Amino acid sequence: MFKIKVDFKFMIIFMMSFIISYIQGDGIANIFFYMFAVMLILSIVFSYTYYKKIDIKVIIEDRELYTNENINIRVVIKNNSNIYIPYLSMYSSNIKGSKPKKNLAFTIMLHEKEEKVLKNNFTFYRRGFYEISRFNVEIKDFFGIITIYRTIDTEDKIIVKPKLFNIENSSKVILQNMDEGEALGHNTKEDNYLIKEMKKYCVGDRIKDINWKVSAKINELYVKKFESINDNQFSIIIDMNRKNYDIDPQGYMEEKLIESALSIIRYLQRENITCNVYLNGEYLENYEVRHERDFQHLYYSIMLKDSIGSKDIKDIFISHPLRSGQIIFISKLTRDLVQNIIIKPESQCRITIYFCYCEDNLTEISNEFSVDLFSIEEIFKEEHLYESM
Same-domain status, 365 and 242: yes
Strands 351-358 and 146-161, bridge-based pairing: unpaired
Residues 364, 338 contacting (CB under 8 angstroms): no
Alpha-carbon gap, residue 82 to 246, rounded angstroms: 55
Alpha helices in 219-277 (DSSP H): 244-247, 252-270
What pLDDT, on the 0 to 100 scale, is given for residue 201? 64
What pLDDT, on the 0 to 100 scale, is given for residue 167? 75
Per residue in 234-253, pLDDT tens? 788 999 988 888 878 888 88
DSSP three-state, residue 257: helix
Q: Which residue has the higher pLDDT, 91 or 212?
A: 91
Same-domain status, 154 and 236: no
In our burial notation (b when 16+ CB lie closer than 10 A, e otherwise), range 358-377 reads beeebeebeeebebbbbebe
> What average pLDDT does this structure show over 148-163?
84
Same-domain status, 177 and 201: no
Same-domain status, 219 and 288: no
Percentage of the chain modeled with pLDDT above 70: 74
Boundaries of domain holding 203: 190-228
Q: What is the CATH number of the domain that holds 286?
A: 3.40.50.410
pTM here is: 0.69
Residues 2, 150 contacting (CB under 8 angstroms): yes
Weakest-pLDDT range from 19-33, 167-181, 333-347, 355-369: 167-181
List C-alpha distances in Å: 64 to 69, 101, 247, 266.
10, 19, 28, 20
What is the identity of the amino acid at 273? I
Nearest residue to 291 via CA among 312, 317, 271, 320: 271
Nearest residue to 273 via CA among 249, 304, 298, 294: 294
Same-domain status, 272 and 220: no
Per residue in 36-83, pLDDT tens? 999 999 999 998 888 888 888 888 877 888 988 888 888 889 999 998
Q: Which residue has the higher pLDDT, 345 or 359?
A: 359
Same-domain status, 47 and 115: yes
Same-domain status, 363 and 218: no
Which element (helix H / strand E) includes 209?
Answer: none
Same-domain status, 218 and 340: no
Same-domain status, 332 and 211: no
Q: How many domains, the chain? A: 3
Residues 235/239/240/242 CA torsion (nearest 10 deg): 160
Same-domain status, 7 and 115: yes
Residues 6+ apart with CB under 8 A from 259: 67, 162, 163, 164, 165, 380
Which element (helix H / strand E) includes 161?
Answer: strand 146-161
Give the 3-state secondary structure of 284-347.
EEEEEECCHHHHHHHHHHHHCCCCCECCCHHHHHHHCCCCCCEEEEEEEECHHHHHHHCCCCCC
Same-domain status, 200 and 143: no
Q: What is the CATH number of the domain that holds 13?
A: 2.60.40.10
Same-domain status, 238 and 364: yes
DSSP three-state, residue 168: coil
Cα distance between the two ends of the chain:
40
